[in-house]
Structure 1
Amino acid sequence: MFSRPQLEERTIAFFRYPLFWVSLSLVGGFALQHFFTLPLPVWFGLVVIFFGLQVLWYRDTRFFWFFLVFWMAVGAGIHFWSLDYPLSRFRSWDGRTLSLTGYVVEKDGRYFLSRIEGFSVYSPSLLLRGKDLGSWVYSRVVLRGVFRKFASCANPGGVDLRLRWWKERVMGYLEVEEGGVIRDRSPWFTLLRWAKEQEGRFFSVWQQELWEETSLFAALFLGKKDPEFFRQKNFFERMGVYHLFCVSGFHMTLLGGILLGILGKFLPFSRRSSFLVLGFTFLYLLFCGLVPSAFRAFLMFGFYLLGKRLGRKIFSEGLLWSAFLLMMVLQPEILLDAGAQLSFASTGGLIVFMHRFQKHYRERNVVFKRIGENFLMGLAVYSVSLPFLIVHGFSFSSLFFLGNLVILPMTEGILFLSFLGVPLTIVPVLLHPFAPVLRFLLRSTSFLVQFFVAHVPHLFLDFARSADRFWGIWLFLGILSLSLSLIIRNRVKILLYMLFVPVLATPFLLPVSEEFWVFDVGQGLACGIMTGDSFAFIDVGGTIRGYGPVGETILEKFLLYRGIEHLDLIFLTHWHQDHAGNLQVFASPSAQLQVFAPENTSERGTPFIAVREPASFRLGDRVVIWGFPVTGETVNDKALVYRIVFPGARVLITGDIEEGGIDSLLRYGKSIEAEVVVLPHHGKYYPNLPELLLRTRCHTVIISCGENNYGHPNPEVLALVQRMGLQCFITWNNGAVRFWNFWGRWRVKSVGKRNL
């Protein structure tokens, strides 16, 4: 127990940053609920119990811990009502015809049904398909259609659509059959509809003035990106300035500064002027689609004006945490949004480090001061935001320093002229003096970015690649240690400690020598073999609802993730579309690639080598792939079975062979022994399957299947595997499965898939 003076001092120290502790506790509770999914009675009971404990022990030191647990329970409750509860309701409606009432909203060219009736706290959204709903945007409608859950595939470097949309509170999609507009009584959606109309009018006026520079202007000023802009996207990423083309706090701060500067010339700071500034910035926020990063800046700006109006002392930390808390209550999904995470992390880095850097940096020369401040600003931002860039697979460029020094002032000029030109769109003739200057600045920006990228040596890390993520961790620790060494004593110790951490993790992050993958490609099969710089596919999957051809949406993403630029071989078990449907994605006429497959007289599109006798093929120097032709009465039995021989391990891939094919395979005797077996036909049961598993002497089986109407995997197969004591992975439940050599010991592990 503390004495009263100690208690008062401790209480003051705690309440100096109460919003920080509230925010930290909310995030902790939200994260716990996200990963462990506590039931309603648990977190609700915690809220009630620890609220009571706070009241009873408000003078005790235990109050602090009761306070933290209480807000953690509140964070778990927010997660439950915003994500878990809507999911539990929609999960049972898959495939049913529903009639729903809500508002149609548009985002990135897609239409969603929002504010769905029947959800009192946090309403989910549904993606709308089947009809063109452009004329109904921001209107209240009644829609009737079939509800479907998103397909779920978990692969390295890929996107799990069900998980991705769930994080945005989109629970599935509605195949719209019919619907109609009903009376709209919402002032909010009326305002959004008006803003949408004004945005279209504003954009059409500028389009007539800017010509071919319109796409760059739309991306910079409104965050609207079209195919023309995406053709230049790679240059902006390599320059480290792509974030300037995403509406953020940079835009809101510039607009707020312009408005305060103009109004300050004519009006003293008053309630009226602050309302005018907030009104204009809010309209700009509506035009840009209420993106989280801009919304965060708007809230901070609003709290700043409120504090200034009330005559309070304003701390940047307080503004940031206040904006965070309000956004979390209004839009809990921002915690899972990459843009929002980067926005808060970058702002937090500037707040924590920048003013401390400036205390130690006193350069009188204007030029060197500008250069130093730009470098320190980048250092402060990346000290906190780089982990988020790595996790979300974005990129880092050492040209960011040059971008801050040259490109940033140019974009400030473009935005300054754009903001000044907004009122002039009422009379388009008045825009004529602005248009040539804007076109010149936009062209100069594009030219300089391409020039710097092409002629200035630089480091570029694409964190979509696993190897670049490894170097990104080293880079982050180096930048963070440099930042800390500039503001804390014992700088040498900090540098040594921070750089020593990745040394311990290096054995776990270095590329492995050999590995085998069974990808999660739905009701199909696609396997990958990697050894050194060599890579081969065995089957290449088919098409999945929502994903399209998996060759483009899953397998190519994996090749990019692992930095594989050259594909050596493709082997096919048979020619069905769920196994060979993406062959032309990889086996183009220009590709130096060999395809081995069973004989098929109907295949004319892709050159291949027919395997009619048992044969072996080398992949690199250490891996041998055996192909065993099998025969039987069905089409599935006229196939090839592959046995991969790694140093110290073997894998057997059986394709879709049935009972006759299994009998044919058993004739190869000990040649089919393997530690890992990919079971036949997506887990279908055959009478001779137990004998196959006994003859292979395997310890692990893998079943590749997805949503289907065939009953795969068969319960008899799962019972058989359990009786034999075999380890079993099912891609439908576990995601992609990896079998790899870790320092001489072979291991099996799945990517993992959240059960949604």
Structure 2
Amino acid sequence: MNQPPPDPRPHDWRLLSGALAVWLAALLGLLVHWSLAVVVGSLAALAGAAHTRCRGRRARDGPARLAAGVPLFVCGVLAVWPVAARIHEAAADPLRVEAARGAAARLQVEVVERPRPVRAAGFGGLPSGVHSVVVPAVALPSGARILILAPVDRWAALLPGQQAVAEGTLAPAEGGTLTVAVLRVRGSPASVGDAPAWQRAAHALRAGLRQASEVLDPESAGLLPALVVGDKDGMSTTVEDEFRVAGMSHLLAVSGANLAIVCVAVLYLLRLARIGPRGSAAGALCALVGYVLLAGPEPSVLRAGVMGAVGLLALALGRERSALPALGAAMIVLVVHDPAMAVAFGFVLSVLATGALVLLAPKWTRRLTRRGVPRIVAEALAVPAAAHLVTAPVVAGMSGQVSLVAVAANLAAAPVVAPATVLGVLAALVMPVLPWLAEWLARLAGPEVGWLVTVGRTAAGMPGAALDWPAGWWGGAALLLTAVAVAVAMRRRTARLVAGLGLTAVLLVVIPVRVIAPGWPPSGWAAVACDVGQGDAVALSTADPGRAVLVDTGPESAPTRECLNRLGVDRIPLVILSHLHADHVGGLSAVLSGHAVGAVAVGPGRAPEWAWRQVREEAADAGVPLVQLTAGQRMSWPGLAVEVLAPRTKEAEPAEADGTQINNRSVVLRATTRAGRLLLTGDIELAAQADLLTAGVDLSADVVKVPHHGSRYTAPEFLAAIGARVAMVSVGAGNRYGHPSPRTLGSLAQKGVLIVRTDTGGDCAVVEDGGKPAAMVRGEPRSPPGR
């Protein structure tokens, strides 16, 4: 069938120009000063009025021309009120003063978003031994917003719409938002009210989807709820990291794509029933509202819901070329409703992606079809390419990476997203009445979800899948300027020839070199044993660029600081000291002074007394909280989870404890990373190893940090119980203790374990390689004499 010719009429930019004025007013008002919102709004209103007055003087101008400046005038007025007024109200809220002085407070609050875990070592997380939760936008009777940090086990059950009394300590909120304060809470909520009936029903349906998904393998079971309703609580951190590198993270948040899938499915069924366009649009609108209620009133869901509702309204009114005005109307509604949307990365991504689908994708599709590409293939190529191109600068600024495989990965994933989403929604709806049918629907979605896992893993594992890029606003701006310069240059034939030769060189030279001899740190590193001489300092990476958990700090300041600098680590949510010997705590002061540290954690050991006093003083001088770890505690960050296995007693050793007793009280950790599980053993010796074996503790891990620098006091039975593929030995060259022991190295070699050592290889990194851990060394050992 012949395709109709493209519509020659230009796009209607009138409403979008007003939306950009509202957005700019809110953006400057939040990031700089509320008065700038008034200035921008006033200028937009004046420009709209002047345009209308000028056009009105021309007799030949019709009503459309006359009304061209009206949207800009109205949006200018909206920018002054209510947008600027809301920003000024938040800026002047008296809670800001109380938060600045750290006042205690007892507040009546209303939860407006589902509590979410904070995967960081923040206030209230470590002392209680559980994750923290966030109630992101909590409304006070005065209209102010606060952020509540509280123990997850006591607050996670709260639903949006519930009112409660929260008692804790106020702290300043992050700038550039409408949130006026942070409330740090240790206890449980009091005087908890009932949640609305529709919230309880939606919560039950989401829980039913998680239960139905349990018939799948663990990775697919965690991914299906994330794909359908944005519920990532049960999702594997490894899969989440792979999706991020592959440029597929947008599939894990409810967006316009989810709503489009649901609405298109409903429209198709209604058209089969011979329902007219307006009736079909009304039915799809009901489905849209129901899906928004199911997913929850999250910002991304509201953004997608408003944009979808405006688009369906335009469809019901018969406006065929209304995509751009619909985008403008959605932007206006969202920013006027919540000015904080203007500074949300998700809002920026939604607007840019939608604009690309409206402005770029159709043009690219027509160009490809004119060159003989089948239309369905042209659309499949143009849509992800356009969306990725315009959102790449924002994603780079957020993550510090540019995915080079995103277009191909999303193209491969696209065919299964819609059926998996529809099957997941149906499973959630039927679970309360027909659990067996819900489980079968989840099984039908299993192959599709499994394919998504495979695509994400394959794409993320390709050499050069992601290019490191400066993070922040400047990084995003730099990529935008680079893309514009390339686009302009590519208009010339000579530039295209040079670009082709450069791409060939990259394919033939650069990528093979990076694979054979990659730079340092290796891309996707999960853990690095720093070369600090005779001591320990292990960095565990998170999914956030520049952020890592540090276990021990080495004997001196300089080596640990240099290692962290090589890794590009500037934020450390948690420093864990396995025990208080000098070769594990000596570099603490440099870490605290040169990095943003969230907390310092220690085990129950308090000997030697001088070291304990030094640690307390250094933490106090840096203003960093000091917390205690006990067996059974679990902590998590994006891409990293840490569990405390030992010591299994809370009693401190005697003040006159000898070195062996102190070693045996080392904190033993098991970290789950993108490269598998790591067992960090401190300096435990035979007695502590035997206690763990006798207690039946699960010690299995893919990588082990060999106890006590590879000393001879390591039982072969202990190493056998771990079953590691890779063993890291943190040890100084020429140390006087004879570490590492040939007997210990021999036990590992007999089991076929790959051994890497800091005294011979320098910094030792663990990376993921085809789903298995692999080790790399920097090849430049510092090799100082050991203590």
TM score, norm. by length of structure 1 = 0.56
Residue of structure 2 equivalent to 1:278: 285
Residue of structure 2 equivalent to 1:674: none
Residue of structure 1 equivalent to 2:223: 216
Aligned match of 2:160 in 138, 155, 173? 138
Q: Residue 430 and residue 201 in structure 1: after superposition, are their counterparts in 2 closer, same or farther (change >3 A)?
A: closer
1:318 aligns with 2:325: yes
Residue of structure 2 equivalent to 1:646: none
Residue of structure 1 equivalent to 2:557: 570
Residue of structure 2 equivalent to 1:60: 54
Residue of structure 2 equivalent to 1:606: 584
Question: SS at 1:350's partner residue?
Answer: helix
1:125 aligns with 2:146: yes
Backbone CA RMSD of aligned residues: 5.2
Question: SS at 2:264's partner residue?
Answer: helix
Question: SS at 1:112's partner residue?
Answer: strand
1:85 aligns with 2:84: no
Residue of structure 1 equivalent to 2:392: 386
Q: Residue 656 and residue 23 in structure 1: after superposition, are their counterparts in 2 closer, same or farther (change >3 A)?
A: closer
Q: Tell me the percent identity.
A: 17
TM-superposed CA distance for 1:340, in Å, is: 1.6
Residue of structure 1 equivalent to 2:444: 437
Q: Residue 260 and residue 69 in structure 1: after superposition, are their counterparts in 2 closer, same or farther (change >3 A)?
A: closer
State whether residues 540 and 548 of structure 2, in contact with CA within 8 Å, keep that contact through their aligned partners in structure 1. no
TM-superposed CA distance for 1:196, in Å, is: 1.8
Q: Residue 603 and residue 297 in structure 1: after superposition, are their counterparts in 2 closer, same or farther (change >3 A)?
A: closer
Higher mean alpha-carbon deviation, 324-333 vs 293-302, is at 293-302
State whether residues 29 and 73 of structure 1, in contact with CA within 8 Å, keep that contact through their aligned partners in structure 2. no
Residue of structure 2 equivalent to 1:225: 232
Written as runs of structure 1 = structure 2, the 5 A alignment for 1:21-420 is 21-38=17-34, 58-60=52-54, 71=75, 74-75=78-79, 78=82, 80-88=84-92, 89-94=94-99, 95-104=102-111, 105-109=113-117, 110-112=133-135, 116-119=139-142, 123-129=144-150, 132-150=154-172, 162-163=173-174, 167=177, 169=179, 171-175=181-185, 180-181=190-191, 189-208=196-215, 213-226=220-233, 228-269=235-276, 271-362=278-369, 372-420=378-426
CA offsets 1:486-529 (integer angstroms, 9 cap, x no match): 9xxx6559989999xxxxxxxxxxxxxxxxxxxxxxxxxxxxxx
Residue of structure 2 equivalent to 1:526: none
Q: Write the letter of the residue equivalent to 1:214.
A: A
Q: Residue 387 and residue 78 in structure 1: after superposition, are their counterparts in 2 closer, same or farther (change >3 A)?
A: farther
Q: Residue 219 and residue 98 in structure 1: after superposition, are their counterparts in 2 closer, same or farther (change >3 A)?
A: same
Structure 1 residue runs of 5 or longer lacking an equivalent are 1-12, 151-161, 500-534, 538-550, 574-580, 590-601, 611-634, 640-654, 658-756
Q: Write the letter of the residue equivalent to 2:289.
A: F
Q: Residue 83 and residue 15 in structure 1: after superposition, are their counterparts in 2 closer, same or farther (change >3 A)?
A: same
Question: SS at 1:59's partner residue?
Answer: helix
Q: Write the letter of the residue equivalent to 1:132.
A: R
Distance in 2, Cα, partners of 1:417 & 1:572? 54
Distance in 2, Cα, partners of 1:383 & 1:133? 40
State whether residues 310 and 326 of structure 2, in contact with CA within 8 Å, keep that contact through their aligned partners in structure 1. yes
Q: Write the letter of the residue equivalent to 2:96.
A: R
CA offsets 1:133-189 (integer angstroms, 9 cap, x no match): 345433543515244114xxxxxxxxxxx326x6363621153767644766x9xx4
The count of aligned residue pairs is: 510
TM-superposed CA distance for 1:231, in Å, is: 1.8
Aligned match of 2:466 in 460, 465, 486? 460
CA offsets 1:52-97 (integer angstroms, 9 cap, x no match): 9977995237999998688557436555444442343211223434
Question: SS at 2:243's partner residue?
Answer: helix
TM-superposed CA distance for 1:194, in Å, is: 2.8
TM-superposed CA distance for 1:355, in Å, is: 1.3
Q: Write the letter of the residue equivalent to 2:148.
A: L
Q: Residue 137 and residue 183 in structure 1: after superposition, are their counterparts in 2 closer, same or farther (change >3 A)?
A: closer
Distance in 2, Cα, partners of 1:293 & 1:113? 13
Distance in 2, Cα, partners of 1:15 & 1:451? 40
TM-superposed CA distance for 1:36, in Å, is: 3.6
State whether residues 281 and 312 of structure 2, in contact with CA within 8 Å, keep that contact through their aligned partners in structure 1. yes
Distance in 2, Cα, partners of 1:33 & 1:340? 17
State whether residues 103 and 113 of structure 1, in contact with CA within 8 Å, keep that contact through their aligned partners in structure 2. no
TM-superposed CA distance for 1:307, in Å, is: 2.1
Distance in 2, Cα, partners of 1:384 & 1:609? 44
State whether residues 21 and 40 of structure 2, in contact with CA within 8 Å, keep that contact through their aligned partners in structure 1. no
Residue of structure 1 equivalent to 2:123: none
State whether residues 219 and 235 of structure 2, in contact with CA within 8 Å, keep that contact through their aligned partners in structure 1. no
Q: Residue 300 and residue 80 in structure 1: after superposition, are their counterparts in 2 closer, same or farther (change >3 A)?
A: closer
Written as runs of structure 1 = structure 2, the 5 A alignment for 1:675-690 is none
Q: Residue 25 and residue 15 in structure 1: after superposition, are their counterparts in 2 closer, same or farther (change >3 A)?
A: farther
Distance in 2, Cα, partners of 1:333 & 1:498? 41
Q: Residue 57 and residue 365 in structure 1: after superposition, are their counterparts in 2 closer, same or farther (change >3 A)?
A: closer
Q: Write the letter of the residue equivalent to 1:319.
A: A
Question: SS at 1:92's partner residue?
Answer: helix
TM-superposed CA distance for 1:214, in Å, is: 0.9
Q: Write the letter of the residue equivalent to 2:95.
A: F
Distance in 1, Cα, partners of 2:573 & 2:237? 27
1:446 aligns with 2:442: no
Q: Residue 346 and residue 81 in structure 1: after superposition, are their counterparts in 2 closer, same or farther (change >3 A)?
A: same
State whether residues 141 and 182 of structure 1, in contact with CA within 8 Å, keep that contact through their aligned partners in structure 2. yes
Distance in 1, Cα, partners of 2:306 & 2:531? 52
Q: Residue 27 and residue 409 in structure 1: after superposition, are their counterparts in 2 closer, same or farther (change >3 A)?
A: same
Written as runs of structure 1 = structure 2, the 5 A alignment for 1:720-739 is none
CA offsets 1:408-432 (integer angstroms, 9 cap, x no match): 2133332233244444433122245
TM-superposed CA distance for 1:337, in Å, is: 1.2
TM score, norm. by length of structure 2 = 0.54
1:19 aligns with 2:19: no
Q: Write the letter of the residue equivalent to 2:209.
A: F
Distance in 1, Cα, partners of 2:158 & 2:465? 47
Residue of structure 2 equivalent to 1:542: none
Question: SS at 2:321's partner residue?
Answer: coil
Distance in 2, Cα, partners of 1:430 & 1:66? 54
Q: Residue 277 and residue 483 in structure 1: after superposition, are their counterparts in 2 closer, same or farther (change >3 A)?
A: farther
Q: Write the letter of the residue equivalent to 2:25.
A: G
Q: Residue 290 and residue 170 in structure 1: after superposition, are their counterparts in 2 closer, same or farther (change >3 A)?
A: farther
Q: Residue 173 and residue 656 in structure 1: after superposition, are their counterparts in 2 closer, same or farther (change >3 A)?
A: closer
State whether residues 241 and 403 of structure 1, in contact with CA within 8 Å, keep that contact through their aligned partners in structure 2. yes
